[in-house]
Amino acid sequence: KWNVPAKERLHTKAMTLHSDFPYGHHPESTKMKAIPASYPPTVQLIFLVDAFTPYNGGTIMLPGSYKQRQLPQGLDSRLRIMNRTVHVTGDPGDLIVYIGQTWHGNDINVAHHSRVGVIAQTLPWYFKPMQSHMYTLPYRVEKTLSPKVRHYLGLKHSHFFGHTITMGYDTVARKVYHATDFLYDMLREGYRTHYGFNRFRRWSLAALSIPAVVFLMRRLEALRLLFTLLLGMFLGVAMTLERFSF
């Protein structure tokens, strides 16, 4: 638990009402023409680690909003003022289950402690994940997974999402860490290509050996060359893996 000063509590912001993936990411999100109304494609689950109350920023929902098949664009403030939203409360260990298209968000946390919950989402297999696990999950981890888990994570299919990096990697520190881990995993384990993991790894190590040799002769220039090569290799391979199914 952590204490929140009163002056900070007054500036805590509430999350706007929204629908979860794939609704909120649909190109025709105001009409949802391509999403069938016969059954809900997604069901959300929130496992309560702490109690959810009206005072600690617990989840709020608009009952029946999933039937409208549209997003609450421009309606957020009016719905809150009209008090049509309800607080979903519960005790630690409880489970909240709701259809993903239901308009929901979280309220302002004016309590003196944090609120923790774990959210999970169920989707049919034919929906691509919102985040490209093929791009973000190191192969050294992927190869330890069972075929069923790899299938559920979508690791057997092509995933191209322009917002992958921004999903939790929007800080400089995270980007540097992710780039370093990507390069390390590529050199250690190899990566998905038509030519096989080992061949691509040998090519990478051979390319890195060139500036390493030059470094003994021209230190500063070689260091710049090494940095440029690593950066170019990361960007090129990352974009290739993200765009095409290898």
Is residue 27 domain-resident? yes
Structural element, H or E, at residue 148: helix 147-152
Lowest mean pLDDT among 37-41, 58-62, 97-101, 240-244: 240-244
Examine the fold and report which residue of 62, 97, 128 is the final residue of a domain before the chain moves on: 128
Average pLDDT, the chain: 69
Examine the fold and report which residue of 69, 101, 128 is the final residue of a domain before the chain moves on: 128
Is residue 86 domain-resident? yes
Q: Are 102 and 86 members of one domain?
A: yes
CA distance 138 to 181: 8
Amino acid identity, position 207: A
Question: Does residue 166 have a pLDDT over 50?
Answer: no
Query: Count of CB atoms within 10 A of residue 171's CB?
Result: 9
Is residue 140 domain-resident? yes
Q: Are 50 and 123 members of one domain?
A: yes
Strands (E), the chain: 43-48, 59-61, 86-87, 95-99, 104-106, 117-122
Question: Does residue 204 have a pLDDT over 90?
Answer: no
Is residue 14 domain-resident? yes
Q: Are 120 and 146 members of one domain?
A: no
* DSSP letters spanning 5-24: -HHHHTTPPPPPPB--TTGG
Q: Are 30 and 83 members of one domain?
A: yes
The CATH code of the domain that includes 97 is 2.60.120.620
Is residue 191 domain-resident? yes
Range of the domain at 47: 6-128
Examine the fold and report which residue of 128, 157, 175 is the final residue of a domain before the chain moves on: 128
Task: Provide the edge-to-edge strand list for the sheet that holds 86-87.
Answer: 86-87, 59-61, 104-106
User: Torsion over CA of 130, 136, 137 and 138, rounded to 10 degrees?
Assistant: 170
Sequence-separated (6 or more) residues with CB below 8 Å from residue 197: 139, 189, 190, 191
Q: Are 122 and 12 members of one domain?
A: yes
Report the pLDDT averaged over residues 206-219.
Answer: 64
Report the pLDDT averaged over residues 171-176.
Answer: 56
Structural element, H or E, at residue 225: helix 219-243
Q: Are 23 and 74 members of one domain?
A: yes
Q: Give the distance, in angstroms, between the CA of residue 68 and the centroid of all CA atoms in the same chain.
A: 26
Lowest mean pLDDT among 12-16, 117-121, 133-137, 186-190: 186-190
Is residue 1 domain-resident? no
CA distance 143 to 153: 13
pLDDT level of residue 244 (50, 70, 90 thresholds) = very low
Domain count, the chain: 2
pLDDT tens-digit profile of 78-113? 665 566 888 999 999 999 999 888 888 888 888 877
Q: Are 110 and 142 members of one domain?
A: no
Is residue 49 within 8 Å of residue 117, measured between CB atoms? yes
- What does the pLDDT read at residue 246? 40
Question: Does residue 149 have a pLDDT over 80?
Answer: yes
